[in-house]
Amino acid sequence: MLRTNTCGELRIEHVGKSVTLCGWVQKTRKLGGATFIDLRDRYGITQLVFLGDDENSKTLGQEGFTREMVIKAHGTVVERESKNKNLPTGDIEIKLQNIEVLNKSITPPFTIEDETDGGDELRMKYRYLDLRRAIVRKNLELRHRLAIETRNYLDKLNFLEVETPVLIKSTPEGARDFVVPSRMNQNQFYALPQSPQTFKQLLMVSGFDRYYQIVKCFRDEDLRADRQPEFTQIDCEMSFVEQEDIIQTFEGLVKHLFKTVKNVDIAAMPRMTYADAMKYYGNDKPDTRFEMKFTELNDLVKNKGFKVFDDAEIVIGICAKGAAEYTRKQLDELTEWVKRPQIGATGLVYARHNSDGTLKSSVDKFYNEEELKKWSEALNSAPGDLILVLAGKEEKTRKAMSELRLEMGSRLGLRDKNKYSCLWVVDFPLLEWNEGDPNLLASLAGRWHAKHHPFTSPKPEDIALLKKSPGEVRANAYDMVINGVEVGGGSIRIHDKELQATMFDTLGFTKEEAQKQFGFLMHAFEFGAPPHGGIAFGFDRLCSLFGGAESIRDFIAFPKNNAGRDVMIDAPSEISEEQLKELSIETIIKTT
Amino acid sequence: MLRTNTCGELRIEHVGKSVTLCGWVQKTRKLGGATFIDLRDRYGITQLVFLGDDENSKTLGQEGFTREMVIKAHGTVVERESKNKNLPTGDIEIKLQNIEVLNKSITPPFTIEDETDGGDELRMKYRYLDLRRAIVRKNLELRHRLAIETRNYLDKLNFLEVETPVLIKSTPEGARDFVVPSRMNQNQFYALPQSPQTFKQLLMVSGFDRYYQIVKCFRDEDLRADRQPEFTQIDCEMSFVEQEDIIQTFEGLVKHLFKTVKNVDIAAMPRMTYADAMKYYGNDKPDTRFEMKFTELNDLVKNKGFKVFDDAEIVIGICAKGAAEYTRKQLDELTEWVKRPQIGATGLVYARHNSDGTLKSSVDKFYNEEELKKWSEALNSAPGDLILVLAGKEEKTRKAMSELRLEMGSRLGLRDKNKYSCLWVVDFPLLEWNEGDPNLLASLAGRWHAKHHPFTSPKPEDIALLKKSPGEVRANAYDMVINGVEVGGGSIRIHDKELQATMFDTLGFTKEEAQKQFGFLMHAFEFGAPPHGGIAFGFDRLCSLFGGAESIRDFIAFPKNNAGRDVMIDAPSEISEEQLKELSIETIIKTT
């Protein structure tokens, strides 16, 4: 090793030791005759000093040590006169005897500090410099720690990590596949997996019993903010289990991660049905760090002459604790906020529950205090609270109210990123009607789609509904939600060939299509498939949640931008005519 | 859980316990009034018994329990009358009270036993059934264990596991890339990584100091036997190191794996230069479980009237210990063996060192006993040994002799798969001249190629040779060889931008090409790149070596065949016109 120690490990007990450190020059400063250098590596910062009281040091001091230069410094550990309590190495410094420049650095395009002057675009182009910032590197260290602890937990429970293939077969179900032209099989393509779903089920057929993998998956989506074309899952499957077993096992995993990585104890996680989540939060991934549940007000507010409510399919109220003091200006701004196209409400009705107990609404013309008291009772408001009401078409209104609830939660400081509220959402519908989704092929519009995926089992008592009322069938499916983020989800799978065939039929596959796409799986089920189920966690998202961040991007070493580009290496890019020819493909639109 | 215990865990101390087991019917047999079922899961086999002495058991016994049926069996653990010492559960059996068929099975296409009647093709098509065989499953369990122990070792040494991207940029250097058309960036393609080489070097520039990843890599090669288009590497990189540091660290890793996974102690690994490996073994990955080194005989054999030797560039002998008894028929067969096109020798000369001390050769016409004695001295043969000699063009003869040496090693039982001989091969040439390789693009033929890759650093003392005699430059590169298999290799990298530019120039890149392909890396080197180096191990190969097998295929859960096809899922396959259109590509040869 070019060094004897890292820049993070020397302490007062090392005083007198002769050491060699390597690292980057964080900064230099002169004080009296002495020159100080903060030397940085992954492990910390150590102060180097030329005392300038001998010839040797003088020579050293004359070299220019610029930021981000890489040096190798040899000297003796000495006790500092003025200690730095903010630095683990702050009790000591290295009195230099010798210094060697290992590599120079031109001036970086932004400062390598926690607070940087680099914008997003610059940081991504020079990601290798951005990763030098302790704040970003710590995110990747957290990711490493989470991966290690995930493996430790699952290994102890006899899960086997099995690598499934990356070059697989394109399936039209779900989102768009990335495809890979095959040179050796002309006119044929591999696809990159959206998940190892079928392979993990086959491993259960193989009797592997407990499988996991931390695995890259791929989805060719129109990228919304904070989606990546390649992402990582903790992918798991178990045999001879029921829903409760999966829930217990993976609640255990998440508790283990919180305990070992963050030293946070998580209590038993509550369960909520999908129906309740939609009813009380308008959302299948409610943020339960705060209450502010929906209350349906139809019975109270209709037929009082207020046309907006009378015409609405649904009228929903929430009670924002302690927000009665909101000014007219704040309320107008909130009204504008809900009317933005992303939220889509037509207006906002409010009622202040004043500290003197009186009630005052924006629709006093139609509702007297008597009526408003009933609102207050329904919403359980107290003096000082603010009641907010939205009305309109049911689905749209629930969605808008969900957004408003989250916004009010944020504004009222109820969404503390250091507080964790975990929840299982269960009893999802098996199917949903898809009118058309820009991320699906056009040919998939106007059909029933699997809400999770086509291998999810319906609840046994609902199987009879599959033919006559597919929308009412509930699935043995479950999501883990933490702080309003869906971190994981899974289901008990179908292990019966006939039921799987019925499912494909319901999803609009012809027998031939089902056979072509999933024939191998259905055939596998004929050879003694065990009952099985599993779950997958979005690992990037889990990391960002543990890191207390909104965006997953800084928990991925080399992320892509919203156009799916890696701006650092400039990919994707054109390839040579020779490559195209070998693959027997041509691009339709030529650049000239 | 549908079970209380697995089929592998019940012992004599569990007698009397009421248990429920789930698994597959391995076999059934009737004996007197009783019916026995061997129930199998991943953990073992447990015997179930219907005693047939009550009504309940009679009913149970009447059901047909066919092979591979999935059942759930409830009963009591009892001590066996006739114990089976070969089975960990052989002291007990389960007296059944209740049995439930969870899933039926049709007859598998081959028997699910260690010795199966399924051929390779059938086993691959029904890989999910093949994986039920304990012998195959154990390979995957070994792989899991090796991955866990690799991570444990590297984690303790402060290596961070960092995921690098899979959708990257195509580079013409090296083997052919698999490419992925980008829908959002028309006429552009991602490439799948042949290795995370540039990214791990960028992580060093980022100050990550120690990186590793167990990662899928991809190479679009014409598949030779036992190559896979997707394969797995243990990929590692360290900063502020010299070659010796990497060697010590990763020798430690392999020792750790042997100790923890196989309880084998490995001694300090010897080093051999590339030049010596070629000189003494004709091979840069010599199998050192046995000696049988090459001896050059030119000085002894030339100008004695034997034209074959006189015309040869080189004459090489080996001494096969104890093989003097080989019959004429065996020697004729061996001569035919070396003349096969794969070996390519024109003939084989031999000399028996008889047990009475006399020497007898196939070329007695040209060499008298006096001469043969000199051969014997040079080759250090003893009575009972067989001297084998090949002659011809140097490179071809070394290659043929290397094959013959390995063949003789095998025939003489010197290649015990339970004995491990580890070796570092060092001082590789930096460059090799490439006349044309079917796995490289045609435009890369007739050029200097990097023997490892273009980021490998030359030995400082050889840098001056780069311009005038590229073939003589030695690299700071090293391979780990175990039992004649190259399991890993790496190098100290270039961290100087100027030297990297010289290297690209030597490799025939124009400045523009180098800039286009690797500009980001060279630019990164301007911002303080630390000295760094690394290594990558072929994980599939390492697993097969630990498993004592020749082929890597059975250490990969779902391998592809030699045509790059997954015959189980039938990939690659055609994709829809809609998909092609969205990607703005068309296939040139249409199937009609």
**Using a CB-CB distance cutoff of 8 angstroms, which residues of chain A are in contact with residue B556?**
163
User: What is the domain extent for residue A55?
Assistant: 12-103
Asked if residues B383 and B354 have their Cβ atoms less than 8 Å apart, the reply is yes
- pLDDT digits over A349-369, tens only? 999 999 999 999 999 999 999
CA distance linking residue A178 with residue A175, whole number of Å: 10
The answer to whether residues A19 and A73 belong to one domain is: yes
> Residues with Cβ < 8 Å from B267, sequence gap 6 or more?
none
A482-486 average pLDDT score: 96
Q: Is A348 exposed, middle or buried (0-12, 13-18, 19+ CB in 10 A)?
A: buried
Is residue A261 very low, low, confident or very high in pLDDT (cuts 50, 70, 90)?
very high
Angle between helices B243-262 and B539-546 in degrees, nearest 10: 40
Answer whether residue A567 is part of any domain. no
**Using a CB-CB distance cutoff of 8 angstroms, which residues of chain B are in contact with residue A106?**
526-527
Average pLDDT, chain A: 93
**Positions of E strands within A262-364:** 271-273, 295-296, 314-320, 349-353, 359-361
The answer to whether residues A201 and A267 belong to one domain is: yes
- CATH classification of the domain holding A95: 2.40.50.140
Nearest C-alpha in B relative to A243 = B1
The answer to whether residues A342 and A378 belong to one domain is: yes
**Using a CB-CB distance cutoff of 8 angstroms, which residues of chain B are in contact with residue A72?**
240
Looking at A391, A415, A439, the residue that finishes a domain is: A415
Answer whether residue A200 is part of any domain. yes
What are the counts of helices (DSSP H) followed by strands (DSSP E) for chain A? 17, 23
Q: Are A160 and B176 a contacting pair at CB < 8 A?
A: no
CA distance A103 to chain B (A): 5
- pLDDT digits over A406-416, tens only? 999 999 999 99
**Contact A87/B at CB under 8 A:** no
Pick from A119, A413, A390, A190: which is nearest to A289 by CA? A413
pLDDT at residue B452 is higher than 90: no
Q: Are B106 and A527 a contacting pair at CB < 8 A?
A: yes
**Contact A557/B at CB under 8 A:** yes
- CATH classification of the domain holding A448: 3.30.930.10
Is residue B54 very low, low, confident or very high in pLDDT (cuts 50, 70, 90)?
low
A323-336 average pLDDT score: 95
The answer to whether residues B487 and B436 belong to one domain is: yes
Q: Are A241 and B1 a contacting pair at CB < 8 A?
A: yes
**Contact A558/B at CB under 8 A:** yes
Q: Are B589 and A584 a contacting pair at CB < 8 A?
A: yes
Q: Are A574 and B42 a contacting pair at CB < 8 A?
A: no
**Using a CB-CB distance cutoff of 8 angstroms, which residues of chain A are in contact with residue B582?**
176, 441
B425-432 average pLDDT score: 95
**Using a CB-CB distance cutoff of 8 angstroms, which residues of chain B are in contact with residue A211?**
none
pLDDT at residue A223 is higher than 60: yes
**Contact A530/B at CB under 8 A:** yes
- pLDDT digits over A559-590, tens only? 999 899 999 999 999 998 888 998 999 888 75
Report which secondary-structure segment, H or E, holds B148.
helix B134-156
To test the contact with chain B by mutation, choose from A22, A168, A224, A240 the residue with the greatest count of B C-beta atoms within 10 A, namely: A240
Picking from B163, B178, B208, the nearest residue to A180 by CB comes out as B178
CA distance A483 to chain B (A): 26
**Using a CB-CB distance cutoff of 8 angstroms, which residues of chain B are in contact with residue A105?**
526-528
**Contact A2/B at CB under 8 A:** yes
Q: Are A588 and B591 a contacting pair at CB < 8 A?
A: no
Q: Are B188 and A573 a contacting pair at CB < 8 A?
A: yes
Is residue A31 very low, low, confident or very high in pLDDT (cuts 50, 70, 90)?
confident
Lowest mean pLDDT among A95-99, B63-67, B129-133, B328-332: B63-67
What pLDDT sits at residue A546?
Answer: 97
**Contact B230/A at CB under 8 A:** yes
CA distance linking residue B132 with residue B24, whole number of Å: 10
Answer whether residue B6 is part of any domain. no
pLDDT at residue A532 is higher than 90: yes
Tokens read off for A226: 């904070």
Tokens read off for A341: 């196209």
pLDDT above 70: percentage of residues in chain B: 95
**Chains A and B: how many Cβ contacts under 8 Å?**
375
What pLDDT sits at residue A197?
Answer: 94
CA angle, A387 then A392 then A398, to 5°: 65
Q: Are B206 and A148 a contacting pair at CB < 8 A?
A: no
**Using a CB-CB distance cutoff of 8 angstroms, which residues of chain A are in contact with residue B40?**
207
What pLDDT sits at residue A222?
Answer: 84
The answer to whether residues B366 and B299 belong to one domain is: yes
- pLDDT digits over B516-556, tens only? 888 889 999 999 999 999 999 999 999 999 999 989 999 99
Q: Is B464 exposed, middle or buried (0-12, 13-18, 19+ CB in 10 A)?
A: exposed
- CATH classification of the domain holding A300: 3.30.1360.30
Q: Is A328 left (phi over 0), alpha (psi -120 to 50) or beta?
A: alpha
The answer to whether residues B82 and B148 belong to one domain is: no
What pLDDT sits at residue A590?
Answer: 52
- Residue B344's alpha-carbon distances to A34, B21, B362, in angstroms, are 72, 59, 20
- pLDDT digits over B176-220, tens only? 999 999 999 989 999 999 999 999 999 999 999 999 999 999 999
> Residues with Cβ < 8 Å from B176, sequence gap 6 or more?
A183, A579, A582, B219, B220, B221, B439, B440, B441
What pLDDT sits at residue B590?
Answer: 52
Nearest C-alpha in B relative to A104 = B528
**Using a CB-CB distance cutoff of 8 angstroms, which residues of chain A are in contact with residue B202?**
127-128, 558, 568
Nearest C-alpha in B relative to A40 = B207
pLDDT at residue B63 is higher than 70: no
Is residue A440 very low, low, confident or very high in pLDDT (cuts 50, 70, 90)?
low
The answer to whether residues A367 and A431 belong to one domain is: no
pLDDT at residue A167 is higher than 80: yes
Pick from A535, A533, A473: which is nearest to A502 by CA? A473
Lowest mean pLDDT among A429-438, B389-398, B482-491, B566-575: A429-438
To test the contact with chain A by mutation, choose from B6, B206, B228, B565 the residue with the greatest count of A C-beta atoms within 10 A, namely: B206
B322-337 average pLDDT score: 96
What pLDDT sits at residue B540?
Answer: 97
**Using a CB-CB distance cutoff of 8 angstroms, which residues of chain B are in contact with residue A198?**
569
**Using a CB-CB distance cutoff of 8 angstroms, which residues of chain B are in contact with residue A229?**
167
pLDDT at residue A33 is higher than 90: no
> Residues with Cβ < 8 Å from B550, sequence gap 6 or more?
B226, B544
Angle between helices A243-262 and A539-546 in degrees, nearest 10: 40
Asked if residues A46 and A19 have their Cβ atoms less than 8 Å apart, the reply is no
Query: Which neighbouring-strand residues pair with A218?
Result: A230
Q: Are A132 and B207 a contacting pair at CB < 8 A?
A: yes
Asked if residues B318 and B293 have their Cβ atoms less than 8 Å apart, the reply is yes
Q: Is B592 exposed, middle or buried (0-12, 13-18, 19+ CB in 10 A)?
A: exposed
Pick from A208, A193, A231: which is nearest to A154 by CA? A208
Q: Are B528 and A68 a contacting pair at CB < 8 A?
A: yes
- pLDDT digits over B11-46, tens only? 999 999 999 999 999 999 888 778 899 999 999 999
**Contact A226/B at CB under 8 A:** no
pLDDT at residue B59 is higher than 80: no
Tokens read off for A183: 């040179």
To test the contact with chain A by mutation, choose from B139, B180, B204, B228 the residue with the greatest count of A C-beta atoms within 10 A, namely: B180
Average pLDDT, chain B: 93
Three-state SS for B29? strand
Answer whether residue A39 is part of any domain. yes
Answer whether residue A131 is part of any domain. no
CA distance A262 to chain B (A): 18
Asked if residues B188 and B228 have their Cβ atoms less than 8 Å apart, the reply is no
Residues 434-493 of B with CB under 8 A from A: 441-443
CA distance linking residue A524 with residue A540, whole number of Å: 32
Q: Are B103 and A441 a contacting pair at CB < 8 A?
A: no
What is the bridge-based pairing of β-strands A295-296 and A349-353? unpaired
pLDDT at residue A443 is higher than 70: no
**Using a CB-CB distance cutoff of 8 angstroms, which residues of chain A are in contact with residue B531?**
2, 102-103
What pLDDT sits at residue B560?
Answer: 95
Q: How far apart are the first and last CA of chain B?
A: 52
What pLDDT sits at residue A514?
Answer: 86
Q: Are B166 and A216 a contacting pair at CB < 8 A?
A: yes
**Using a CB-CB distance cutoff of 8 angstroms, which residues of chain B are in contact with residue A127?**
202
Angle between helices B394-411 and B328-339 in degrees, nearest 10: 140
- pLDDT digits over B482-514, tens only? 999 999 999 999 999 889 988 988 888 888 888
**Contact B540/A at CB under 8 A:** no
Is residue B60 very low, low, confident or very high in pLDDT (cuts 50, 70, 90)?
low
B131-139 average pLDDT score: 95
What predicted TM-score, i.e. pTM, was given to this entire model? 0.94
Q: Is B309 left (phi over 0), alpha (psi -120 to 50) or beta?
A: alpha
CA distance linking residue B417 with residue B433, whole number of Å: 35
The answer to whether residues B429 and B551 belong to one domain is: yes
A218-230 average pLDDT score: 87
The answer to whether residues B405 and B439 belong to one domain is: no
What pLDDT sits at residue A54?
Answer: 62
pLDDT at residue B58 is higher than 60: no
What pLDDT sits at residue B411?
Answer: 96
CA distance linking residue B21 with residue B41, whole number of Å: 9
Residue B149 sits at φ, ψ, to 5 deg, of -70, -30
Looking at B415, B436, B471, the residue that finishes a domain is: B415
Picking from B70, B183, B186, the nearest residue to A528 by CB comes out as B70
Reported residue count of chain B is 592
Half-sphere exposure (Cβ direction) of B505: Cα atoms closer than 13 Å = 10
What pLDDT sits at residue B520?
Answer: 87
**Using a CB-CB distance cutoff of 8 angstroms, which residues of chain B are in contact with residue A568?**
202, 520
Furthest-apart CA pair in chain A: how many Å?
95
**Using a CB-CB distance cutoff of 8 angstroms, which residues of chain A are in contact with residue B234?**
none
Asked if residues B239 and B531 have their Cβ atoms less than 8 Å apart, the reply is yes
DSSP state letters, A156-213: HTTPEE-PPPSSB---SSSSPPPEEE-SSSTT-EEE--S-SHHHHHHHHHTT--EEEE
- The structural domain count of chain B equals 3
The answer to whether residues B393 and B450 belong to one domain is: no
Q: Is B183 exposed, middle or buried (0-12, 13-18, 19+ CB in 10 A)?
A: buried
Tokens read off for B557: 């859960």
CA angle, A443 then A445 then A446, to 5°: 125
With tokens 């100290």, the residue in question is B492
**Contact B432/A at CB under 8 A:** no
Asked if residues B180 and B155 have their Cβ atoms less than 8 Å apart, the reply is no
Residues 156-195 of A with CB under 8 A from B: 160-170, 172, 176-192
Asked if residues B169 and A157 have their Cβ atoms less than 8 Å apart, the reply is no
The answer to whether residues B158 and B223 belong to one domain is: yes
Nearest C-alpha in A relative to B137 = A208
- pLDDT digits over A98-112, tens only? 999 999 999 999 999
Answer whether residue B45 is part of any domain. yes
Q: ω before A193 within 30° of 0 (cis)?
A: no
A7-29 average pLDDT score: 96
To test the contact with chain A by mutation, choose from B199, B243, B521, B569 the residue with the greatest count of A C-beta atoms within 10 A, namely: B569
Reported residue count of chain A is 592
Residue A578 sits at φ, ψ, to 5 deg, of -60, -45
Answer whether residue B279 is part of any domain. no
Q: Is B519 exposed, middle or buried (0-12, 13-18, 19+ CB in 10 A)?
A: middle
Report which secondary-structure segment, H or E, holds B22.
strand B18-31
Is residue A91 very low, low, confident or very high in pLDDT (cuts 50, 70, 90)?
very high
**Using a CB-CB distance cutoff of 8 angstroms, which residues of chain B are in contact with residue A131?**
203, 206-208
What pLDDT sits at residue B57?
Answer: 56
Q: Is A136 exposed, middle or buried (0-12, 13-18, 19+ CB in 10 A)?
A: buried
Answer whether residue B319 is part of any domain. yes
**Contact B512/A at CB under 8 A:** no
Three-state SS for B32? coil
Asked if residues A335 and A386 have their Cβ atoms less than 8 Å apart, the reply is no
pLDDT at residue A25 is higher than 80: yes
Looking at B103, B129, B159, the residue that finishes a domain is: B103
The answer to whether residues B171 and B220 belong to one domain is: yes
Q: Are A218 and B166 a contacting pair at CB < 8 A?
A: yes
